[in-house]
Chain A
């Protein structure tokens, strides 16, 4: 089975975000960048499927040269090959643009892939758009926010969380799957893996090589503002006797907050 996992480099979720107001962008200095956590679940799932069924696991990232360490980490986890699809554009918050690039790469370099694995959302931009968009552009079935995946022969079953339950999605391959926490527990890289990954060459594909036209890449999203959220007013914090504080809180929720 041939699997490609798409991995994005993102600021780690603990990062303190500072905003550059003139450019409406996030200040990158001092941020720690990692593979988006959900993408790690996708990489792990791909490795497990390969261990069970044979085949190859490739990982790809769309972004600047800075995404290389993220790709190397995936190699160290056990991926067979990593490819950087080089895109110099700053963060566009535009899922369709990324999806078009990825779809084109799948039709070209990654032709013959059985399974395209993604994270449910890239943390930071929190769009949750690219997997479904790629699926549509390629006419493939999809299952998003998946916590359990079973592949057998040319078809699969995925379980995904919905309000108040779990949906069982059945699909044929090739297919697009996006991973949610709970799917698996990503492995740590081994020292041997890290050493081997260091030696591997990571090919770079340019957007021009994918035959994308300028209009395909023109962002549909126009950022009109990026700001810190308004500070919540300092709350009323009650201390002291539990019975008294409980009574006061109930009264405040009723009379002041009017939520009870």
Chain B
């Protein structure tokens, strides 16, 4: 069985977790095994809404691990709950979405189980009855494939890479509840508060379209151009290069690249960004890359599927109008 940890936020499953569950379903079918979802809930929280959401990628079972001690996220508490579950259910593989939480938690679970971990995978395959994981390394300059010589095979899966299984919701999954014991004093660190950034509606890692700006924008006020372009699409976010962030034009939350976030939207639009390797590291797994740059030699054009050589201040407003027309049709 392949078990998938389902991360929730505001009572909803994260898209990355549903994608991981979808990929689990595909690989499990190849391996001839089943899938299960794992939910961790704190005192009093309900999981019914999330279970209903698992829909088309529906696993046979949803294991709900409950404890009052898990009301606030703590890597320590969650790792114990999940490792205890693994000890009993013995899945052959365990997936997490490579979100901020998944990246924090998965290595902790792997260490507790004494097993290896494949981080931030972008492709999975089955080889001789085991999983083969492929992931970018060296800032995307190489692709590493690996298998894990320990069970369960634990991996984090990059969000927005694996397609969602949009099949019809099958039979409602069986819900198995389990009380987890978190001894007093066991958890020595926890999330006390999440400070939401007001201006961010969708995070760059979760958006279908990312419109990013770089030093070519010349100043913070010109990010308005990109916000307007992004607003044309239903699920879009504004990203930025490190130069733009370091200049204080936009918050670090928006930075794409090696020191920022890794994004894989359907459409990535790089505006006034040269395409330094550290920037490419964060966006080269995007499905379609568009570049707008006045310099025809800019390295971004080497990875772009489409590009416009021109002055962004002239191109971007026009592109917005043209896209609006196309989308209206």
Contact = CB atoms under 8 A, between A and B. Distances in A.
B136 interface: yes
Interface of A: 11, 13-17, 19, 26, 37-38, 93-96, 99, 123-137, 139-145, 147, 157, 159-172, 175, 180-182, 218-229, 232-233, 235-240, 242-243, 245-247, 249-254, 257, 259-260
Given A165-B196, A219-B149, A123 B258 contact: yes
Nearest to B16: A163
Interface stretch (B59-67, B86-94, B97-105, B216-224): B97-105
A133 B253 CA distance: 26
Interface string B257-287: 0111000001100000000011001001001
Contact of A169 (B192, B202, B206, B303): B192
B13 interface: no
A195 to B, nearest CB: 31
A10 B91 CA distance: 35
26 contacts: A13-B281, A15-B138, A19-B142, A93-B144, A95-B116, A126-B138, A137-B111, A139-B188, A145-B103, A162-B99, A162-B194, A163-B205, A164-B196, A164-B200, A171-B189, A175-B189, A223-B144, A229-B136, A235-B303, A238-B308, A238-B309, A242-B310, A245-B308, A249-B306, A250-B322, A253-B323
Contact of A126 (B114, B120, B267): B120
Most A-side CB within 10 Å, residue of B192, B202, B306, B321: B306
B315 A165 contact: no
A218 B115 CA distance: 11
Given A141-B74, A166-B194, A235-B307, 18 more contacts: A14-B277, A17-B138, A19-B142, A126-B135, A129-B110, A133-B111, A137-B111, A141-B75, A142-B104, A144-B103, A163-B9, A165-B194, A168-B195, A175-B188, A224-B127, A246-B319, A250-B319, A253-B290
Contacts of A166: 194-195, 197
Contacts of B141: 16-17, 228-229
Given A133-B111, A227-B142, A237 B104 contact: no
Contact of B149 (A132, A222, A257): A222
Given A245-B310, A257-B305, A124 B148 contact: no
Contacts of B172: none
A219 B150 CA distance: 9
Interface in B44-67: none
A127 B303 CA distance: 24
B92 to A, nearest CB: 15
Contacts of A168: 191-195
Interface of B: 9, 74-76, 79, 99-101, 103-108, 110-112, 114-120, 127, 132, 134-150, 187-197, 200, 202-203, 205-206, 209, 233, 252-253, 258-260, 266-267, 277-278, 281, 284, 287-291, 296, 301-311, 314-315, 318-319, 321-323, 325-327
Contacts of B195: 159, 165-168
Contacts of B209: 259
B100 A163 contact: yes
B144 A226 contact: yes
Contacts of B194: 162, 165-168
B104 A144 contact: yes
B305 A142 contact: no
A208 to B, nearest CB: 21
A145 B303 CA distance: 28
B119 A253 contact: no
Given A182-B252, A225-B145, A250-B326, A95 B117 contact: yes
